[in-house]
Amino acid sequence: MDERQLAGSVAVVAGGTRGAGRGIAVELGAAGATVYVTGRSTRDERSPMDRPETIEETAELVTGAGGRGIAVRVDHTVPAEVEALFARVSEEQDGRLDVLVNDIWGGDPLTEWGTPFWQHDLANGLRMQELAVTTHLITSHFGAPLLVARGRGLIVEVTDGDGDGYRGSLFYDLAKSSVIRLAMAQATELRPHGVAAVAITPGFLRSEAMLDHFGVTAETWRDGVAKDPHFVASETPRFVGRAVAALAADPGVMARTGKVLTSWGVAAEYGFTDVDGARPDWGAHYREHVLAAGA
């Protein structure tokens, strides 16, 4: 992909503080886009996730990659704040919006793995749906009109998994599956207006939190294989970011609207690699080393 194919484009990455959201924001910037990075974690105040990453850091990484990063503190559970975000984008960009990425999450500390749904804390499970699904719907509600007005653009719903198989926790599974359905429904209603909507999943993600979990860094990540052998097939957040950038730059993206895509599948189609030159394929690894082993 031409490194500047998105020059002049405008994107909003909702939930761009860390993980896949940060990787997507940076790669959109590397392709030349102006990227509004939103979230609740700022240098002045941490979100309930209590992580050190901030929207300001992500915006600076976007600018450093060659784009223009703009950090905007937004709680996407509050419609008025989301509406104000898109009013600002419209005013500052003369009504232009090309890409909307919904990656709001925040459900990791709420998920009780290995706990039957009737024993899972109900308030946490319901809050997960609010953070992971309702926020996406609110954000698309206010962002889609800018795309429709231009008769083109792309909405990306970031999920976990391609919709096949159970995700290990009812509340987690419901959140991630609902995001896929949200992409499919948006695609149906947006198709007559020339706007595409897709869901995309990364593989085993080497997010900041996952690196911390394994006690490794971005440079020493392979040491994490000692704790989980499947980590060998992991990918950086920039890999799914490159997938989103490739889709956003493709004039034929409408052919994919309504589909559930994978970082590794998009990489194979467009021919890009991860930042280290590798091309991880979590789907193949999962089939060969997890499903085949009956894990």
- Inside any domain, residue 89: yes
Specify which residues 11 forms β-bridges with.
Answer: 35, 99
Q: What is the per-residue pLDDT across 144-175, written as a single tens digit (0 to 9) for each?
A: 999 999 999 999 999 999 888 888 999 999 99
Helical spans, DSSP H, in 36-121: 55-64, 79-92
Catalytic (active site) residue 172: yes
Residue 294: what pLDDT?
65
pLDDT band, residue 80 (cuts 50/70/90): very high
Q: Which two tokens stand for residue 197?
A: 């909507």
Stretch 87-103: mean pLDDT? 98
- Inside any domain, residue 123: yes
Residue 164: what pLDDT?
82
Torsion sign, CA atoms 138, 140, 141, 146: positive
Q: b/e for 132-148, b at 16 or more Cβ within 10 A?
A: bbbbbebbbebbbebbb
Residue 43: domain span: 10-216+236-279
How many domains, the chain? 1
Stretch 221-229: mean pLDDT? 95
Query: DSSP labels for 141-185?
Result: HHHHHHHHHHT--EEEEE-SS-S-S--SSHHHHHHHHHHHHHHHH
pLDDT band, residue 291 (cuts 50/70/90): confident
Q: What is the per-residue pLDDT across 62-72, written as a single tens digit (0 to 9) for each?
A: 999 999 999 99
The mean pLDDT of the chain is: 95
CATH number of residue 149's parent domain: 3.40.50.720
Stretch 240-257: mean pLDDT? 98
Residue 188: what pLDDT?
98
- Inside any domain, residue 171: yes
Residue 48: what pLDDT?
86
- Inside any domain, residue 248: yes
Stretch 185-193: mean pLDDT? 98
- Sequence length of the chain is 295
What pTM, to 2 d.p., does this model score? Answer: 0.96
- Inside any domain, residue 1: no
Residue 163: what pLDDT?
84
- Inside any domain, residue 265: yes
Stretch 84-97: mean pLDDT? 98
Q: What is the per-residue pLDDT across 39-75, written as a single tens digit (0 to 9) for each?
A: 999 999 988 888 999 999 999 999 999 999 999 999 9
The Cα 184–Cα 4 span in angstroms is 29
Sequence-distant (6+) residues with CB within 8 A of 21 are 13, 14, 15, 37, 39, 58, 101, 103, 158, 237
Which one of the listed residues 36, 166, 172, 270 is annotated catalytic? 172
Whether the pLDDT of residue 2 is over 70: the answer is no
- Inside any domain, residue 289: no
Stretch 178-192: mean pLDDT? 98
Report the candidate in 262, 206, 264, 255 with the shortest Cα–Cα distance to residue 234.
206
Residue 165: what pLDDT?
84
pLDDT band, residue 290 (cuts 50/70/90): confident
Residue 50: what pLDDT?
85
- Inside any domain, residue 153: yes
Percentage with pLDDT > 90 across the chain: 92
